[in-house]
Amino acid sequence: MKTTVHALLFDVFGTVVDWRGSLIKNLEAFGQKHTITADWSGLVDAWQSEAHGQLVEQIRERTLPWHPLDDVHRLALQEVLPRYGLVGLTDAEVTWIHRLWHRLEPWPDTLAGLSRLKQHYSVSAFSNGNVALLVDMARHARLSWDMIFGADLFNHYKPDAEFYLRACTLLGHEPEQVMVCAAHNDDLQAASELGLRTAFIQRPMEKGPGGPFESPTGSWDLIASDLQDLADQLGPEIIDYR
Amino acid sequence: MKTTVHALLFDVFGTVVDWRGSLIKNLEAFGQKHTITADWSGLVDAWQSEAHGQLVEQIRERTLPWHPLDDVHRLALQEVLPRYGLVGLTDAEVTWIHRLWHRLEPWPDTLAGLSRLKQHYSVSAFSNGNVALLVDMARHARLSWDMIFGADLFNHYKPDAEFYLRACTLLGHEPEQVMVCAAHNDDLQAASELGLRTAFIQRPMEKGPGGPFESPTGSWDLIASDLQDLADQLGPEIIDYR
């Protein structure tokens, strides 16, 4: 059977925006302004790991009740701040830090790549972020999504199957008409098992210069060096990849 | 208490797009192409009334199970076509007519008005349409929504309270920080009762030249002649209206 791709679902953190670089840059500026010295990159890595690793997994396993990602970030931040010696911050300062996730910056190729892809495909955010966070981020970074699928629409975090299948249904497409684009193998693995198409986006700088990064480990439909390369490979027409 | 508006929720059919004019124009072209004569405007009015009136109300009252608006349009179309003498259409032709709701045209002031409003407020679709329909329409008509709230996200049609309150929660705002903008009093009545702000948009041409139209019947926060006027009245700053 000939099938065609109609819709692209983009993982956001790491694939579309440079969460780590953006957070560190803003926290370093915060430190300079308030003359606070800290291991900002260590804090950011611990914060992300605690939130997107530990807490999201506990919610997926239902050992923790549902919390949208903004709440997860807040819980993780309160856990991580004292570990990095940040104990005297005001509520307003903690809130300012917490909200940095709403103002992440895109990778250099993101805006041009999404703009080209949008000419021929519907292009949606497909993220564990909550809708409010993703709307703020899109307005800040000028990401013009056709639709935003935030995890709090469904109270399911990726890679829960429900999230992938509900997005396909809401877009009115069969899974094989939808391609998940992500820099993370676990996201594409879930997509692939459910019959969606997969594009691995290489983001060697996600964890910073010299940091660890994921290489494609599955037989994904496409492997792209960035979103411009993805637009080159997908081309101007809806193409059959099987 | 001083409160401010952060987010605008737009009713779509009639407020943002000219559903009636768009459907009639396309059906007239269809009739000319296939040399079919019919009362196209009568058919469109009956179709909309059957779908958005009868069937949606039955779903709200739970006498009919949940159907997204695409399915409602299909059921209503099959009901209405024979009444207007259209009995020999192929499946492809019926599908083409059915899908016209995905390609409605904006009012002349819509794109410029939304673009101005979007500079200062988050601007979302808030419609009984399903997400797939609204995504297609936005791509066709170049409506750049910050977020699309389609009824099939929640399986509730307006004016069910759940739809209004879930949209506020997902945007991370209190009801009084969110303004519903609509050409229909029942939509604003529900919004107002739930604590949201209200802007009545005058659309005297919704049912065509000389057709019936709604005048504002409640004490809404704003009354605007179109979306440019709404942008004029809301202004460049987030303003307190109480």
| Residue A91 sits in the same domain as residue A146 | no
Q: What mean pLDDT is predicted for residues A91-96?
A: 98
Kindly tell me if the per-residue pLDDT of A241 is higher than 90. no
Kindly tell me if the per-residue pLDDT of A154 is higher than 50. yes
pLDDT at A237: 55
| Residue A136 sits in the same domain as residue A223 | yes
| Residue B42 sits in the same domain as residue B149 | no
- Any domain includes A27: yes
B139 touches chain A (CB under 8 A): yes
Looking at A87, A103, A119, the residue that finishes a domain is A103
Query: Residue B242: pLDDT band by 50, 70, 90 thresholds?
Result: very low
- Any domain includes A212: yes
- Any domain includes B120: yes
Q: What mean pLDDT is predicted for residues A30-44?
A: 97
Number of structural domains in chain A? 2
What is the residue range of A95's domain? 19-103
Choose the closest CB to A153 out of B132, B139, B153: B153
CATH number at residue A65: 1.10.150.240
**Three-state helix/strand/coil letters over chain A:** CCCCCCEEEECCECCCECHHHHHHHHHHHHHHHCCCCCCHHHHHHHHHHHHHHHHHHHHHCCCCCCCCHHHHHHHHHHHHCHHHCCCCCCHHHHHHHHHHHHHCCECCCHHHHHHHHHCCCEEEEEECCCHHHHHHHHHHHCCCCCEEEEHHHCCCCCCCHHHHHHHHHHHCCCHHHEEEEECCHHHHHHHHHCCCEEEEECCCCCCCCCCCCCCCCCCCCEEECCHHHHHHHHCCCCCCCC
Place of tokens 């890595």: A45
Radius of gyration in angstroms for the set of CA atoms belonging to chain A, rounded to a whole number: 18
CATH number at residue B205: 3.40.50.1000
The answer to whether A152 contacts B146, with C-beta atoms less than 8 Å apart, is no
Q: Which residues of A97-136 are buried (b: 16+ CB within 10 A; e: fewer)?
A: bbebbbbbbbbebbbebbebbbebbbbbbbbbbbbbbbbb
Q: Which residues contact B182 (CB under 8 A, 6 or more apart)?
A: B10, B11, B15, B188, B191, B198, B199, B200, B201
pLDDT at A1: 38
pLDDT at B189: 98
Say what the ipTM of the complex is. 0.95
| Integer CA distances (angstroms), A36 to A33, A77, A83, A215, B104, in order | 8, 17, 15, 36, 55
B8 touches chain A (CB under 8 A): no
Place of tokens 């979007």: B118
| Residue A68 sits in the same domain as residue A115 | no
Q: Which residues contact B172 (CB under 8 A, 6 or more apart)?
A: A70, A130, A131, A132, A133
Radius of gyration in angstroms for the set of CA atoms belonging to chain B, rounded to a whole number: 18
A171 touches chain B (CB under 8 A): yes
The answer to whether A139 contacts B132, with C-beta atoms less than 8 Å apart, is no
| Residue B172 sits in the same domain as residue B201 | yes
| Residue A118 sits in the same domain as residue A35 | no
Give the nearest chain B residue to A154 (CA atoms): B153
Kindly tell me if the per-residue pLDDT of A168 is higher than 80. yes
Kindly tell me if the per-residue pLDDT of A2 is higher than 90. no
pLDDT at B237: 55
Nearest-5° angle of CA B142, CA B66, CA B150? 20
| Residue A78 sits in the same domain as residue A115 | no
Looking at A103, A118, A138, the residue that finishes a domain is A103
- Any domain includes A14: yes
| Residue A25 sits in the same domain as residue A14 | no
Q: What mean pLDDT is predicted for residues A29-54?
A: 97
Chain B CB contacts of A173 under 8 Å are: 132
Q: Which residues contact A41 (CB under 8 A, 6 or more apart)?
A: A20, A24, A208
pLDDT at A235: 83
pLDDT tens per residue across span A195-226: 999 999 999 999 999 999 999 999 999 999 99
| Residue A126 sits in the same domain as residue A226 | yes
Q: What mean pLDDT is predicted for residues B54-77?
A: 98
CA distance B234 to chain A (A): 19
- Any domain includes B184: yes
The answer to whether B122 contacts A139, with C-beta atoms less than 8 Å apart, is yes
Q: Are A194 and A161 in contact (CB under 8 A)?
A: yes
- Any domain includes B127: yes
pLDDT tens per residue across span B39-62: 999 999 999 999 999 999 999 999
Looking at B103, B119, B147, the residue that finishes a domain is B103
pLDDT at B238: 54
φ, ψ at B218 (rounded to 5°): -115, 175
Query: Residue B235: pLDDT band by 50, 70, 90 thresholds?
Result: confident
Kindly tell me if the per-residue pLDDT of A238 is higher than 70. no
Query: Residue B1: pLDDT band by 50, 70, 90 thresholds?
Result: very low
In one-letter notation, the amino acid at residue A42 is G
The proportion of chain A whose per-residue pLDDT surpasses 90, expressed as a percent, equals: 95
- Any domain includes B53: yes
Q: Tokens for B93?
A: 């032709």
The proportion of chain B whose per-residue pLDDT surpasses 90, expressed as a percent, equals: 95
Query: Residue B218: pLDDT band by 50, 70, 90 thresholds?
Result: very high
| Residue A136 sits in the same domain as residue A48 | no
| Residue B77 sits in the same domain as residue B109 | no
| Residue B88 sits in the same domain as residue B14 | no
pLDDT tens per residue across span A52-85: 999 999 999 999 999 999 999 999 999 999 999 9
The answer to whether B147 contacts A152, with C-beta atoms less than 8 Å apart, is no
